[in-house]
Chains A and B, each alone.
Chain A
């Protein structure tokens, strides 16, 4: 499928339907249709999309924050009395295993209950967005659980029982360490080696060594290195330039994730944020990007889909908004390109971290 240069220069000015999107996310937080059943094990990530989406829309007042905060804490896998399950701690995706509801410890031992690295990541970010101070998060347990997931080659599994391992979970791990302000949860050097090893001949990043370059994995690679503060140490100037070039070539109108694939709304964030972190997002064409994202807007139910005339879903709805925010769409909060939360939530995190450091300083 050869790439087609778009013939249509002018798209109609499409308006942004804020209220529909607010309602879309509200509904997402209430009930989802049956076809989403397979997402049950990852329900917390769906909540993150909705909650962060509402934050970007500056509409967090429409939800019951305290209720949600409690629910998230009920998903925390806490240490048992004898702390024998520390390497399994973190946050779980939902109640699907059947652990009884509880927001405080000690944890209940269940052979198949454990944290999941992506749930720990979205759990922590969701708490931050909802204004929580993370005081009920057992940080040491989370970090112990995280450490247990890293493999010899530097990549991470998602759960201690074992699962596929790749660069996505390195990104989750980096976010967790960054948020908790504690990098003891991972071996940074090994992670950097794995990331470098995932760079393909065309200077995009694959999911792992020898795998095809992809916009999503490239985001995971670059964002992780930025969060670790090692971007220019891990990659040479030439490599960075080539990564910029690979990413910039992903824009067709909106962005696609790999060459010769159709554009997809979510890449307006994955690739857009990567370009922003590499300081060249300003060279992209904002108008075409915006027009594509808005062409996937569902005018009836709200939200965004990957393609025009397709069903919207929470992931694309959220990332579509983030893509628009990067361009500077009015009335949308700015998004932190590495951590993928609003700047407002990020500032809240910074204040929290300052308090932690101050407290640590004053402790005898």
Chain B
């Protein structure tokens, strides 16, 4: 008709395909079975090598076959002369090269090569290094190859400074070689094994600063150098300790705050915190009644944290109702992420980064690093510049602006804590600062008054219940819909939540556990629209006397 080409029917095609598959399957199964029966019979001959080679060429990840090959080679070691073995293993390396050419990311192939290299009578490490170089030149991020190279370096005893020079060359030719920076970070500690990671200030470190500065000045958009820089500037983890002990004669209790969440079973738990992992920053311990109630007596308390071999003393003096012992965040440089460097070093680093910032005002890595350096040098002094930089950051990298808002909130809270300490007061005030999140609540154990109004908060998280001394909470003009953290606050008397998003009675449930609550302002919340809300609230919170007044207005 129209010169239609004869097309085989679908069924016919299917049948042909099926036959082809079966043929292939037969060949494969035959080869595999032959391999296995040989192995079972303990046959370790050339044919076995051939068969495994055939199968591995198409599937280098058939681990059993590499194992069999290793058995064959081990057997040959017992029956052949050294020269012959050298040839056999070199042939093996050739075979592996062809496997790797086909699939440079096969675990089985690299693993086997490592094994062969270790057993070769006369290894040629230079050759192995050059293989790595070739492989890396094709794909400088092939971590299998980097891993293999590390092994070669170790086996052949290449000195660390030679490897450092290797990374120098790589970085010099292409600063964006993230893997090289990474490798460098593993080499540096080897040069100074006695100092904790990252390496402590010294000539080497200053040279590193120079090297990495060259990198980010040349290509400010390459994150590898910035991450490396951040690591160089970084700081060792603080020791775990008891950061605050608070004693209240009236409540007859001791509150202990730790420097990190802990799993402590030694104390009597009064509440179980809502953490997934049952860890908590603070523990509350009720003392047996009458232990410290005599105000004419001085009482000395010691809190032992036996697991960490540390303790804290606190004296409750005559005539005093409460007492505490707390590490100052300022003295501890609690919020600085950087190592205790000489200020002059940090100043000069800041200067360099500022220079770069003038040339590249839109570079986010530079801005982040400047913020980091400023916070280490003088968080309060640089507060205005920090806020301005965050604004720029949010414009320049708008995809992550929510994350930056969160980060900025954290820094503002840190600054407020520092200001509070400086003023030696127990009032924490941070309003109209676009706060999106709360953190460092473990530092606010002693706070009596807190003002969070006119921010962007959505909830008062469970950790809020650590504010055991809190008497007044001002949180007007936020977006709060969740009051999870407002429970078991023994001194809380006044709560201001005007213009938030509290919508149902259940949201207020946590307040039932605050025995001293007298004043609650809920104006401007959706909950006020609910019918019968006045009577329901009266029933839920009978001791709150200032409630009705606020609703009527």
Contacts and interface: CB of A to CB of B under 8 A. Distances in A.
A262 B318 CA distance: 68
Given A2-B222, A164-B111, A211-B147, A200 B400 contact: no
A38 B99 CA distance: 13
Contact of A237 (B29, B32, B198, B260): B260
A96 B32 contact: yes
A107 interface: no
A212 B60 CA distance: 24
A258 interface: yes
Contacts of B402: 282-283
Nearest to B59: A38
A41 B59 contact: yes
B29 A232 contact: no
Interface string A223-252: 000000111110011110000001011010
A233 B223 CA distance: 30
A210 interface: yes
A206 B141 CA distance: 13
B111 A112 contact: no
Contacts of B67: 161-162
Given A201-B228, A201-B231, A236 B260 contact: yes
B60 A251 contact: no
A111 B276 contact: no
Contacts of B224: 259-260
B458 to A, nearest CB: 11
Interface in B187-211: 197-198
B403 A238 contact: no
A21 B21 CA distance: 26
B25 to A, nearest CB: 10
A30 interface: no
Contacts of B185: 200-201
B219 A212 contact: no
B276 A229 contact: yes
A285 interface: yes
Contacts of A249: 223, 400
A159 interface: yes
A201 B260 contact: no
Nearest to A3: B221
A237 B63 CA distance: 40
A283 B406 contact: yes
A98 interface: yes
Contacts of B40: 111
B61 A41 contact: yes
Interface string B101-117: 00000010001000000
B376 to A, nearest CB: 14
B333 interface: no
Report whether over half of chain B's contact residues are helix, strand or loop; otherwise say mixed. Answer: helix
Report the contact-size class of chain A (Cβ under 8 Å from the partner). 35 or more
B59, B63, B219, B276, most chain A CB atoms within 10 A: B63
Contact of A283 (B61, B176, B403): B403
Nearest to B70: A162
Report the contact-size class of chain B (Cβ under 8 Å from the partner). 35 or more
Given A3-B223, A202-B231, A212 B143 contact: yes
B275 interface: yes
A284 B221 CA distance: 20
Contacts of A2: 176, 219, 221-222
B107 A164 contact: yes
Contacts of B275: 232
Contact of B64 (A40, A97, A251): A97
A213 interface: yes
Contact of B230 (A202, A261, A282): A202
A158, A238, A260, A280, most chain B CB atoms within 10 A: A260
A37 interface: yes
B59 A40 contact: yes
A248 B406 CA distance: 13
A38 B146 contact: no
Contacts of A232: 261, 275, 277, 279
Given A201-B231, A232-B275, A211 B59 contact: no
B32 A98 contact: yes
Interface string A11-46: 000000000000000000000000001101110000
A159 B67 CA distance: 11
A327 to B, nearest CB: 14
Nearest to B403: A283
Contacts of A237: 260-261
Interface string A160-180: 011110000000000000000
A97, A98, A237, most chain B CB atoms within 10 A: A237
A261 B403 contact: no
Nearest to A112: B64
Contacts of A259: 178, 223-224, 227
B237 interface: yes
Contacts of A233: 261, 263, 277, 279
B33 A98 contact: yes
B260 A212 contact: no
A150 interface: no
A288 B62 CA distance: 39
A167 to B, nearest CB: 13
Contact of B146 (A162, A201, A212): A212
A212 B179 contact: yes
Contacts of B150: 210
Contacts of A288: 399
A333 interface: no
Contact of A1 (B111, B176, B231): B176
A334 interface: no
Interface of B: 29, 32-33, 36, 39-40, 58-64, 67, 107, 111, 141, 143, 146-147, 150, 176, 178-179, 182, 185-186, 197-198, 219, 221-224, 227-228, 230-231, 237, 260-261, 263, 275-277, 279, 337, 399-400, 402-403, 406
Given A42-B61, A161-B67, A239-B237, 12 more contacts: A3-B221, A41-B61, A98-B32, A112-B39, A201-B185, A211-B147, A212-B143, A236-B260, A238-B237, A258-B178, A260-B141, A283-B403
5 contacts: A42-B61, A97-B64, A233-B279, A237-B260, A260-B223
Nearest 6 Cβ contacts at the A-B interface: A283-B403, A201-B231, A283-B402, A202-B227, A285-B399, A201-B185
